[in-house]
Structures are given as C-alpha cells and as structure tokens.
Amino acid sequence: MVKNEIRLKYSGLIVFTSNILSAASGLAFVLMITRTVSTEEFGIWGNINDVSNYFILLSGVIPFWATRFIAREHVGSARTGFVANFFISVAVASIYLALVPIIASVLQISSIYTILYTVISVQIVELHVTSALEAVLRAKQPQTIGYALLIFEACKVLLGFTLILLFKLGLQGALYSIITSYTVRIAFYLKLTAKELKESVKWGYLKEWLKAAPIVVYNIVGNRIVAFSLILLFVYGGELARAYHGAATSFATVISYSSLLAFALYPRLLSGSSSEDVSVSLRLVMMFAIPMTTGVMVLSDSYLAMLKAVYAEATPVLLLLAMSVLCLTLSQVFDMVVSGTERLDAKAKIAFRELVKSRLFLLFTLPYIQSVVTLPAIFVILTSIAKTSLEAATYLALVTLLSNLAILIVRYLIARKCLAFNFPWNNVFKYSLASAAMATVLLVIPHPTRLSVTVAFTLLGAAVYLTALTLIDKEAKSLAKSILEEAMHIIRNKNPNKSE
C-alpha cells in the first residue's frame, strides 16, 4: 500500500528544508536582478510572470487526477498523465505566442521587452511537463521533489551569476537561467519516473479525467481571477507599485513554505489515513509558520533594504502580506484534508453529478466568492483612493489579508465536516510564546541594512525561538531528536523507520 511507503514527517521535512534552502538561493537570484535593473524593469519582470501564469492554468488539470489515481495504484496513470499534459502544453504555448503582440499592445509594453514575453513560451511548456512528472512523484516519493528543487535552485543561481552579473544580460539573462534550470529539473524527474512512464497509456483514464476536467479548470480559473488584482495594480498603480508588491512578496512567500511540512498528508489521506495525521501535520506547519511570520514582520525593513534602499518604503506592504500568507498556509492544510478525504474517484470512475455535489466543488467555489468581493474593492481603491504607488500596494495587501482571513475560517469549517481532527491550540500557544521571545530580542537590536548582518540576525532569531520552544514544548525536543536520527540514517545509508 502507498500508505505505508509515504512517510509523513520525513517527506515533509525534506521538502520544507529544500524550500528553505531554495529561499536563500532565490533571494540571491532576486538580488542579482534588483541590483542590475531599474525598479521599472523589476516591475516588468513581475508582470511577465503575472501574464504567463494565465497560460499555465491547464497545467495542473490532468496532474490533479493523475496523482489521485497513482496513489490508489491504478496502473498506467503516470504515462497517461505525462503524454496528455505534454500535448496540452504545446497547444497552449502556440496560442500564447499568437497573442503576444496583442498582450504587449494592451499593456503598453515597450517593444524592447517583447522578446522576453516571447521566450517565456518555452517555460510554459516546461511547467506543464514538470507538473505531470511531479504528479507521479508526489504520489510515490514526495521527498524527491525536494531534492529536485535543490538541483533547480543551484543551476539557477550559477547561471544567473554568469548571465546576469558577468555577461550583463539583465532580465534576459534571468529568464534564460530559469528556463535552462527547468530543463535540468525535468531531466532529473524523467530519471526518477522512468519505470512508471514505461507503463501503457490508458485512454480510459484520460476519458474520466477530461470528463471531470471542467471542475479542476473551474478551480484554477477561480484562483487566477483572484490573482488578477496584480494586473490591476500594474495597470492603475504603475510599475513601481508592482515592484513594491513584488519585493514584499519575495519575503512573505517564504512563510508559505511551512505548508510543505504537510506535503505528504494529501497522498496519505488518498490511500487511507487517520485524523491523527492531520493533527501532526498542523503541529508541524504551525511550529514553523508562526515564528517565520513573526520574524518577517519584525525584520521587514531590513529584508527589503537588502534588495535596494528604495524598497524599504514597502515595509507596510510586507507586514500585511506576511499575515496574509500565514492565513494561506493554514488554508492549504485544510484544502489537503478536503481533497484527500474525497472518495468519489476511488474506483477509477468519476461521476460528474456527484463531483458537483461534493465538498471538493464547494472548496473550488470559494475563490469566486473571494473575487466578487475583493476585485471591485481593489479597482475602486486603485482608481479613486490610492494617491501614490506605495499606497496602492499597501491597500492591495490589506484587502488581500482580510479576504484570506475570511476564506481561512470557511475552509476550516469545511475540513472539519470532512474529517474530525483536533486543532493544536495548546501547541499554537507555545509556538506563539517562543516567537514572542524571539521578537523581543530582535526588536531591541538596531535593525541592519547589510545582507550579511541581516542573515546573522535571522539565524539569531531562529536560535532564540528554538531554544525557548524546547524549554516549554516536549514535542519540539522529540522532533529535534527524530531529525538527528534521520540525518544519521542517511549518512549511514540505512533504511529509516517508514512509520513517520
């Protein structure tokens, strides 16, 4: 059974650790960009990603169902998902290329940047392929996705240093670095999934997936509609406003990595698991999410100043986004509970009518409700209330926080109806107490602006938090011990306990 092969804590810790390490390399990459291009060009960089994201809407449709089928041991699911997603990627990339001139005209993008918007079509194909391969690995070997991320980030930084700093290619060098790194990542995935990809294509599975595809597209489109607020910010707030938001997002996003500690929860629930797994996952996620949010808020001015002095002005934006991302992080765990406990496709058949009546469909409807409330409010604020670029970015962050908080509450209530689990309130109190101790230390120290000193302060804050937590929480001591044991098993090439 897949249930026995996937280790909850181990897989989560591997993926989380790799993402934290990638955050450091990602910051280095962003620094290369921000210190070699103007703030307006950095805004363009953010917009390129915003636009291309609308053309990877379909990248997760087939993989969504493929993961569920693979986790339940339906032979042929892996190859079927890979082949289908590749052909979808070619079609989508072709459509995007045809629309590039129109997009450039509508957004009034200078012709000198058109090449960047054109080349991004390669990444659109890569992301579809990556999604299909990760669908296989998440169901079988979740931890390998963490290993692949480290390879990707190492390649990206190395190429970025060469193309951005040495050859002075600016945004073009950044884009080429990312595309090449994705190619290396895909090669690694293909090696890991070689056995599964040798299976026969089962067109019957694809028929079921396509029948249920509108529901997944419904979910993806809903999330992209919510993200349309960033397009509004770019159009009505300007490049500088988008740059402020992008700079703040670079650090706030790190908080969301803590949700990866629950990465293996979804396939575990798919193959049959207990409510205790949910409680364990919530404790792991909150153990890191709370101090990370606190740290980002306390050192927000220092983090932003690392990019460029001008970005320190965006401190209010980062404060709001940090709390907003904390809400999203918890929401992702509740999403896993709802998706993982849904059994309508357990027998490799999907009844569309049952799907529409399911809690899964209710979950997919929430982004539309969020958009109906937030987008009109953001439009009014950006066109009538916000007077400066900083105000525009700050108001957007505030509206996002309030809406994400409301959605978090709703998702929690839905998850509780799917599976009875205990929310670790006692643990949350301990994590908050230890975070308060960390914040106290960091607040009394003058905040630095130099990269090396800021990193040192970050490590100091982590040390204070972990020290305080181990003094008041026995589980933290147990977790630290298990991490050391895992490390020793890896070093000695032994097979660790699979129950964790």
Listed by start position, the domains of the chain span 2-491
Per-residue model confidence (pLDDT) at position 497? 44
Per-residue model confidence (pLDDT) at position 136? 97
Give the 3-state secondary structure of the chain: CHHHHCCHHHHHHHHHHHHHHHHHHHHHHHHHHHCCCCHHHHHHHHHHHHHHHCCCHHHHHHHHHHHHHHHCCCCCHHHHHHHHHHHHHHHHHHHHHHHHHHHHHHCCCCHHHHHHHHHHHHHHHHHHHHHHHHHHHHHHCCHHHHHHHHHHHHHHHHHHHHHHHHCCCHHHHHHHHHHHHHHHHHHHHHHHCHHHHCCCCCHHHHHHHHHHHHHHHHHHHHHHHHHHHHHHHHHHHCHHHHHHHHHHHHHHHHHHHHHHHHCCHHHHHHCCCCHHHHHHHHHHHHHHHHHHHHHHHHCHHHHHHHHCHHHHHHHHHHHHHHHHHHHHHHHHHHHHHHHHHCCCCCCCCCCHHHHHHCHHHHHHHHHHHHHHHHHHHHHHHHHHHCCCHHHHHHHHHHHHHHHHHHHHHHHHHHHHHHCCCCCCHHHHHHHHHHHHHHHHHHHHCCCCCCHHHHHHHHHHHHHHHHHHHHHHCHHHHHHHHHHHHHHHHHHCCCCCCCCC
What does the alpha-carbon distance between residue 186 and residue 176 come to, in Å, rounded to a whole number? 16
Q: Are 303 and 448 in contact (CB under 8 A)?
A: no
Per-residue model confidence (pLDDT) at position 382? 92
What does the alpha-carbon distance between residue 132 and residue 89 come to, in Å, rounded to a whole number? 11
What does the alpha-carbon distance between residue 301 and residue 294 come to, in Å, rounded to a whole number? 13
Closest-CA residue to 295 (of 466, 81, 151, 124): 466
What does the alpha-carbon distance between residue 235 and residue 481 come to, in Å, rounded to a whole number? 51
Per-residue model confidence (pLDDT) at position 167? 94
Closest-CA residue to 288 (of 484, 449, 428): 428
Per-residue model confidence (pLDDT) at position 499? 44
Token pair, residue 210, equals: 């396509």
Closest-CA residue to 185 (of 123, 256, 264, 92): 123
From first to last of its 500 residues, the chain has per-residue pLDDT tens of 334 466 777 778 888 888 888 878 988 898 899 889 988 898 899 899 889 988 998 899 999 999 999 998 899 999 999 999 999 999 999 999 999 999 999 988 999 999 999 999 999 999 999 999 999 999 989 989 999 999 999 999 999 999 999 999 999 999 999 999 999 999 999 999 999 999 999 999 999 999 999 988 898 889 889 989 998 999 899 889 988 998 999 899 989 989 888 888 888 888 776 788 898 889 989 999 999 999 999 999 999 988 888 888 999 999 999 999 999 999 999 999 998 888 888 888 888 888 888 888 999 999 999 999 999 999 999 999 988 999 999 999 999 999 999 999 999 999 999 888 999 999 999 999 999 999 999 999 888 878 888 889 999 999 999 999 989 888 777 776 766 676 566 556 544 444 45
Per-residue model confidence (pLDDT) at position 192? 96
Per-residue model confidence (pLDDT) at position 498? 46
Per-residue model confidence (pLDDT) at position 487? 56
Token pair, residue 350, equals: 């999907």
> Helices 39-53 & 8-34, crossing angle to 10 degrees?
140
The residue whose two tokens read 């804590």 is 9
What does the alpha-carbon distance between residue 39 and residue 109 come to, in Å, rounded to a whole number? 15
Tell me the Cα Rg of the chain.
22
Residue 1 burial (C-beta neighbours within 10 Å; 0-12, 13-18, 19+): exposed
- Determine the Cα angle at 371 with ends 365 and 375, to 5°: 175
What does the alpha-carbon distance between residue 25 and residue 153 come to, in Å, rounded to a whole number? 6
Per-residue model confidence (pLDDT) at position 2? 39
Q: Are 72 and 271 in contact (CB under 8 A)?
A: yes
Per-residue model confidence (pLDDT) at position 495? 47
